[in-house]
Amino acid sequence: GIACGFRPRNTLYLAANQEGARDLLEERQLRRRAGLPGVYLEHPDLFTQFELDRDGAILSPGSAEADPLLLTWALIETAVRRGAQLVSASVAALHAEGERVTAETDGGHVIEARHAVLATGYSMPGIDMPKLHRISSSWALATVSQDPAMFWRDRTLIWESSHPYLYMRTTPDNRIVIGGEDDGTSDAETRDRKLPAKSVALQEKMKRLWPKADARVEHAWGGTFGETADGLPLIGPLREMPHVFAAYGYGGNGITFSYLAAQMIGAMISGIHRDWFEDFALDRDGPGMSRFGEDGVRAENELR
């Protein structure tokens, strides 16, 4: 019911090479064990059905595309109609005392609540990010409008299991959006200076993947996001600030992990706890880390 260009789509997860094809075949077996639908396409079937020259792919149902800006605004408007209050300001400082949380803003507002949930992307106001957290940047471009007859079959969403990864989709006004080229850039000015070179790289990848495309670029942009060293998000309470919860580090899985965060934090506020919640704790141990410190392996060996 939201006017945001929502369209159900299938997804093709492409292998980048022969080794990647073997990995995807193994992943398909794991998906089947988990009850997830989809079929594995070897090169002949993939090329015959989609004209994509890759060693293999997983074709899955149940995805969709949408205009994220229109979708976001509509969700905000829905929240307001249901009683949410919006404050046009940024939180400058948080205080948790007793049973209340106080948020000071840069706009003169002071907000008090029983609980606060931080879901602000990749930074916390006045709080150090967990050691597992890291910042990355991504780039994307949108082409000029294409001849719809030149699109691949069913306008399927396309992902490539490469590093850095690549994705490609169409839009209601017949553009191709292609993105990826992620790296560890954290500074916004540096990220924006890389845009011309990243755009060229994305153009070249698009030409190789779909030679029929009109590769002229009409829009290009970059963005920053948070991820973690172990690939799992950071969801849960701030141990040092009672009644403050955070949801960060989604990486490229925000649609899944944000929903998970909403369910988990809602449960936590209601007093419900599950042992597996600790797998997402903000202060959990990560690769090369332990409760003895970041250099966990060395420290544990010394203790032994």
pLDDT of residue 299 exceeding 90, the answer is no
Environment class of 195 (CB within 10 Å of its CB; exposed 0-12, middle 13-18, buried 19+)? middle
Specify the pLDDT at position 53: 93
pLDDT in tens, 207-244: 999 999 999 999 999 999 999 999 999 999 998 888 99
pLDDT of the residue at 24: 93
Distance of CA 130 to the CA centre of its chain: 18
Q: Where does the pLDDT of residue 292 fall: very low under 50, low under 70, confident under 90, or very high at 90 and above?
A: very low
Please spell the DSSP secondary structure of 130-168, one letter per residue.
PTTEEEEEEEEEEESPPPGGGSPGGG-EEEE--SS-EEE
> Is 157 domain-assigned?
yes
- Least-confidence region, from 40-44, 120-124, 223-227: 120-124
DSSP letter at 115 equals -
Whole-number pLDDT of residue 12: 97
Higher pLDDT among residues 108 and 268, named by residue: 268
Residue 186 lies in a domain: yes
pLDDT at 125: 73
Query: What pLDDT sits at residue 240?
Result: 86
What does the pLDDT read at residue 16?
86
Q: Is residue 179 part of a domain?
A: yes
Query: What is the secondary structure of 237-254 as a DSSP string?
Result: EETTEEEEEEEE--TT-H
**Considering its fold, how many domains does the chain have in total?**
1
Q: List the CATH number of the domain containing 19.
A: 3.30.9.10
At residue 222, the 3 state secondary structure works out as: strand
Average pLDDT, the chain: 90
Structure letter (DSSP) for residue 121:
S
Task: Note whether residue 198 is domain-resident.
Answer: yes
* pLDDT value of residue 235: 96
Instruction: Tell me which residue of 194, 138, 190, 185 sits closest to 166, measured CA to CA.
Output: 138
Would you say residue 248 lies in a domain?
no
Collapse the DSSP code of 218 into the 3-class scheme (helix H, G, I; strand E, B; otherwise coil) and give the result.
strand
Cβ-proximal residues to 203 (8 Å cutoff; 6+ apart), any chain: 141, 215, 217
Task: Tell me what the mean pLDDT of segment 163-177 comes to.
Answer: 93
User: Locate tokens 């490539």: which residue?
Assistant: 160
Higher pLDDT, 174 or 121: 174
Answer yes or no: is pLDDT of 52 > 70.
yes
Residue 121 has pLDDT above 90, yes or no: no
Residue 110, strand partner residues = 104
Mean pLDDT of 133-152: 95
Average pLDDT over residues 297-303: 36
Please give the residue range of the domain that contains residue 176. 7-67+152-205
Residue 53 lies inside a defined structural domain of this protein: yes
> How far is Cα 53 from Cα 46, in angstroms, rounded to an integer?
7
pLDDT at residue 304 in the model: 33
The two structure tokens encoding residue 304: 């032994």
The answer to the question of residue 280 being in a domain is no
CB-CB contact of 151 with 145 (8 Å) = no
Report d(CA 209, CA 177) in Å as an integer: 13
At residue 162 the predicted structure's pLDDT band, cuts being 50, 70 and 90, is confident
Query: pLDDT over 70 for what percent of the chain?
Result: 94
**Does the pLDDT value for residue 15 go beyond 90?**
yes
293: confidence class by pLDDT, cuts 50, 70, 90: very low
**Bridge partners of residue 111, in order along the sequence:** 103
Q: Which residues pair with 245 in a beta bridge?
A: 117, 237
> What pLDDT was estimated at residue 289?
56
pLDDT at 164 over 90: no
Residue 177 in domain: yes
Phi, psi of 164 (to 5 degrees): -70, 155
Q: How far is CA 201 from CA 155, 194, 205, in A?
A: 22, 11, 6
Q: pLDDT confidence of 33, banded at 50, 70, 90?
A: very high
